[in-house]
Chain A
Amino acid sequence: MKKKVLAGILAATMAFSMAACGSTGSSSDSGSSAASGSTAKTEEKGEPYTVTMVLQGSQQPDEERIEEKINEILEPELNAKLDIVVLPWASASQQLQLMLSGDEKIDLLYTSATTAVQYMHSGQIMDMSELIDKYGTNLKDIYGEDIAKTNQIDGFVYGVPNQIERGSIPAIFMRKDLVEKYNINTDEIKEPKDMEKVFETVQAGEPDMTMLFSSNNSDTPLSRLSRADGLGDANTGALMDQTNSTTVENYFASDWYKETATMLHDWYQKGYISKDAGTNTENWRTVCKAGNLFSLFFAYHPGTPVEFQSSTGYEFEIVPFYDQPIINSSSYGGIIFSVAQNSENPEKAMQVLDYIYGSPEVMNLLNWGEEGTDYVVEDEENGIINYPDGVTADNAGYSFNCGWELPNQFIAYKWDGSDPQLWDKMQEFNASGIESKALGFVFDNSEYADQVSALNNVISQYNGALSSGSGDPEELLPQFLEALDDAGIDDVIAAKQEQLDAFLAKK
């Protein structure tokens, strides 16, 4: 929180103080480095270049020790070093924005397509297409050239996808002990609104518990249930039925949005959702660990059951609402790595990034730490690891445990309790997905920056209340839609449709 305040003060002064630092920031050029041409391992001499990689999560006490280990691999291979900077979840986006706006040294950053497109338009990140051509050997092996470069607008590649699940299935996650205690027949749950009966039963027996998790940040029940394809940014129009139709609609004016918001508000009034949902910014895991949460809507994929159990200590009964995941642009753009404009040596940064995609050693070091100290291998054949004797989650020196945030978790070890075939199942899951008609398309909103800003302001005012269930759609939704109209949503949707049609015609 304090950091937020500090960030706020910084931001407030930023508008003006930018002048001083920005002009020097501009001198970090993108041209000269590209001129240095191909670099073979043996040619290089001199000081190794340190690549700064910005991640998000909880800071690890023994970060330096792990960096040293990683550098022992990277230095002889690439004449490079790696420096990880881990920003705390709560303030990561603000801090990253300030780092990129200032003159700070930063090479690689973890982000998402929506944010990366903003960075691209303000010139904060670099086009990676040439870098992928030259150094993306592992990337091209994993994805093929098309997918490796799928995150692009007009040939400007703003990021490369992480190896994670592609698409996910909205599902209800319920605490298994309670499902058993109240004899709930999960076969009867077909769609979200079937949960009402379940909540009624459980609440009668557990009056002090919250039935369904809700919050007022991006992680709202409504957003977890949404299957719309936002084409980069759902705020500016979405495909509500992406596998059949290519008509861009106003997401907030859709029947689905209204029905879901109404259902959630009904639950809110019945007490299934916490009365504080409108102001809650707490992560669901924190709430769950406290033991007061019965269920939540979340995205299902083969890795979630174990991940949820290990992070909360509870076993979950999971009922997916659909059979297959949908693969759309955000499936490859949800979690990506970009190269910052501030990078002094983008070639080296790309080499290091690509190396990690193909190196189980570095991936294991980044995610789990050092073998013997931070983990021991329990099952070599299936690649299952666990804490060494005497080490627990509370005293571990290094246990980043955010494999999805790192380039390629599929080549790394799995934690104890994981499905031995997890990575195979994941690949299978990914292969089972149905593709959106708009796969590969991302809306370029640069010409509509003022409308988009005005829209975002309107949306941040209403969407949190409506999608958390705390706001009454009867009262708020008409106001919301009117404000969106005033802010010019129709123009933006028309432009999005036009771009999409042009994209489809080319395809």
Chain B
Amino acid sequence: MKKAEVKKGKKKNVLKEYWPLYLMMLPALLYLLINNYIPMAGMVIAFKKLNFAKGIWASPWAGLKNFKFLFASKDAWIITRNTLLYNVAFILVNMVVGIAIAILITEVRNTKLKKIYQSAILLPFLMSMVILSYIVYALLSAENGLVNNSILPLFHIDPIQWYQKPKYWPAVLIIANCWKGIGYGCLIYIASLIGIDPSFYEAARLDGASKWQEITKITLPSLVPTIITLLLLSIGRIFYSDFGLFYQVPMNSGVLFPTTNVIDTYVYRALIEQGNISMSSAAGVYQSLVGFCVVMLSNWIVRRVDKDQALF
């Protein structure tokens, strides 16, 4: 009894003491509630045969029938595989290239040039995917593309029908995503690189360390906390894909679906082209479920490795 009372009192005190903080949290909580929690009720659509005339609740139940189309063809497997593998590739490539470029930029002595490089690399990040898709098209188009008309002939390679050959697209998409997204990660790495105490480098140089040794022994270890934070943030979104990248950049070319179809584009096509809301929300529920499992799993792994770094 007494213990409980003490606990209760303590709780009250916390609220009293930190109420401005709670007040500040309130708008964000409301936002989460309205945007992320209330709509969860809509998951019920995935199990209904939706009829607008009857409304959601009065529409007849369909059981798991809406999920059947996902598994009728090999679609469910392909879109799950694509979404996961692409995201893993994006995370790794962007991390490695981002750190490399961040180190290169911080090594530039001339401050003016440094600023120019930094802005140049951030610029693609601010671009719309539609523009990116046309830049890629200008390179890969069969009729007028730069690659087929100017670059491949130099090596005596026959022109390639890029938009007809799925096998090239993992590489194309990874490069395109890297080119576009690298600037943002780079900025964060540069910020933490600047934070490294210069006396480390001075001491290393006095001891006769080479540039390479400086990088591997001082720079990289100091970056580890930043790397882990960014890694966990991206793992949390591993089952979401950049719709614009996968829809716009391959120009919606059907032949490329085996390597460009991800959950988001699949749901979009199912809803817009076939107008079946029940089925597309079934795909949405499937995305949420698998996404939930992946996040739980990766968090569990991180916790086993280093408890303090885990998200929860």
The CA of A97 and the CA of B271, in the complex, are separated in Å by 9
Q: Is the CB of B257 within 8 A of A124?
A: no
The CA of A399 and the CA of B228, in the complex, are separated in Å by 61
List 19 extra interface pairs beyond A118-B274, A278-B255, CB under 8 A.
A8-B247, A15-B42, A15-B267, A15-B277, A16-B39, A19-B38, A20-B38, A22-B55, A30-B53, A101-B277, A121-B51, A123-B52, A450-B65, A450-B68, A450-B69, A451-B69, A452-B274, A476-B255, A487-B73
Chain A residues with CB below 8 A from B69, complex form: 449-451, 453-454
Q: Chain A, 493-507, contact with B by CB distance < 8 Å: what is the 0/1 string?
A: 000000000000000
Q: Is the CB of B274 within 8 A of A17?
A: no
**Residue B150 lies at the interface, judged by CB distance under 8 Å to chain A:** no
Q: Number of contact residues on B: which range applies?
A: 35 or more
Chain B residues with CB below 8 A from A8, complex form: 243-244, 247, 268
| Contact among A26, A449, A465 for B255, CB-based, below 8 A | A465
Q: Is the interface of A mostly helix, strand, loop or mixed?
A: helix
Q: Is the CB of B38 within 8 A of A461?
A: no
The CA of A25 and the CA of B58, in the complex, are separated in Å by 12
Chain B residues with CB below 8 A from A281, complex form: 251-252
Q: Is the CB of A12 within 8 A of B56?
A: no
**Residue B61 lies at the interface, judged by CB distance under 8 Å to chain A:** no
Chain A residues with CB below 8 A from B269, complex form: 457, 460
Q: Is the CB of A450 within 8 A of B72?
A: yes
> Smallest Cβ distance from A54 to chain B, in angstroms?
15
Interface residues of A in 251-277 (CB under 8 A from B): 274-276
| Contact among B66, B141, B277 for A276, CB-based, below 8 A | B141
**Residue A7 lies at the interface, judged by CB distance under 8 Å to chain B:** yes
User: Most chain-B CB neighbours within 10 Å: which of A16, A462, A465?
Assistant: A16
User: Most chain-A CB neighbours within 10 Å: which of B247, B258, B272, B273?
Assistant: B272
Q: Is the CB of B73 within 8 A of A11?
A: no
Chain B contact residues, CB within 8 Å of chain A: 38-45, 50-58, 65-66, 68-69, 72-75, 128-130, 137, 141-144, 161, 163-164, 243-244, 247-248, 251-255, 257-258, 264, 266-277, 279-281, 283-284
Q: How many residues of A contact B (CB 8 A)?
A: 63
> Smallest Cβ distance from B37 to chain A, in angstroms?
10
Q: Is the CB of B275 within 8 A of A115?
A: yes
Chain A residues with CB below 8 A from B277, complex form: 14-15, 18, 101, 122
Q: Which residue of A lies closest to B148 (CB)?
A: A275
Q: Is the CB of A453 within 8 A of B279?
A: yes
15 A-B residue contacts at CB 8 Å? A1-B130, A15-B271, A15-B280, A18-B42, A18-B45, A19-B39, A19-B42, A22-B55, A100-B52, A275-B141, A450-B72, A451-B69, A453-B270, A454-B73, A486-B73
| Contact among A12, A23, A26, A274 for B143, CB-based, below 8 A | A274
Chain B residues with CB below 8 A from A7, complex form: 272
Chain A contact residues, CB within 8 Å of chain B: 1-2, 5, 7-9, 11-12, 14-20, 22-23, 25-27, 30, 93-94, 97, 100-101, 115, 118-119, 121-124, 216, 274-276, 278-279, 281, 341, 449-454, 456-458, 460-465, 470-471, 476, 483, 486-488
> Smallest Cβ distance from A287 to chain B, in angstroms?
12
Chain B residues with CB below 8 A from A9, complex form: 243
Q: Is the CB of A26 within 8 A of B55?
A: yes
Chain A residues with CB below 8 A from B143, complex form: 274-276
Q: Is the CB of B73 within 8 A of A118?
A: no
Q: Which residue of B lies closest to A456 (CB)?
A: B274
> Smallest Cβ distance from B1 to chain A, in angstroms?
44
| Contact among B50, B51, B164, B252 for A470, CB-based, below 8 A | B164
Q: Is the CB of B54 within 8 A of A123?
A: yes
Chain B residues with CB below 8 A from A460, complex form: 254, 257, 269, 273
> Smallest Cβ distance from A446 to chain B, in angstroms?
9
Q: A16-B43, A451-B69, A487-B73 are in contact. Are A122 and B281 (CB under 8 A)?
A: no
Chain A residues with CB below 8 A from B281, complex form: 15-16, 18
> Smallest Cβ distance from A487 to chain B, in angstroms?
5
The CA of A388 and the CA of B190, in the complex, are separated in Å by 65
The CA of A122 and the CA of B49, in the complex, are separated in Å by 8
Chain B residues with CB below 8 A from A23, complex form: 55-57
Q: Is the CB of B52 within 8 A of A14?
A: no
Q: Which residue of A lies closest to B72 (CB)?
A: A454
Q: A8-B247, A19-B44 are in contact. Are A119 and B275 (CB under 8 A)?
A: yes
| Contact among A15, A17, A30, A465 for B254, CB-based, below 8 A | A465
Chain B residues with CB below 8 A from A458, complex form: 73
Q: A11-B267, A275-B142 are in contact. Are A17 and B56 (CB under 8 A)?
A: no
The CA of A9 and the CA of B54, in the complex, are separated in Å by 26
Q: Which residue of A lies closest to B288 (CB)?
A: A16
Chain B residues with CB below 8 A from A450, complex form: 65-66, 68-69, 72, 279
Chain A residues with CB below 8 A from B43, complex form: 16
Chain B residues with CB below 8 A from A94, complex form: 272
Q: Which residue of A lies closest to B44 (CB)?
A: A19
Chain B residues with CB below 8 A from A100, complex form: 52
Q: Is the CB of B54 within 8 A of A453?
A: no
| Contact among B52, B68, B141, B161 for A341, CB-based, below 8 A | B52
Q: Is the CB of B72 within 8 A of A216?
A: no
Q: Is the CB of A26 within 8 A of B54?
A: yes
Q: Is the CB of B267 within 8 A of A278?
A: no
Chain A residues with CB below 8 A from B243, complex form: 5, 8-9, 12
Q: A276-B142, A464-B254 are in contact. Are A5 and B164 (CB under 8 A)?
A: no
The CA of A421 and the CA of B44, in the complex, are separated in Å by 58
Closest A-B pairs by Cβ, 8 of them: A26-B55, A19-B42, A123-B53, A275-B142, A123-B51, A15-B284, A450-B69, A454-B72
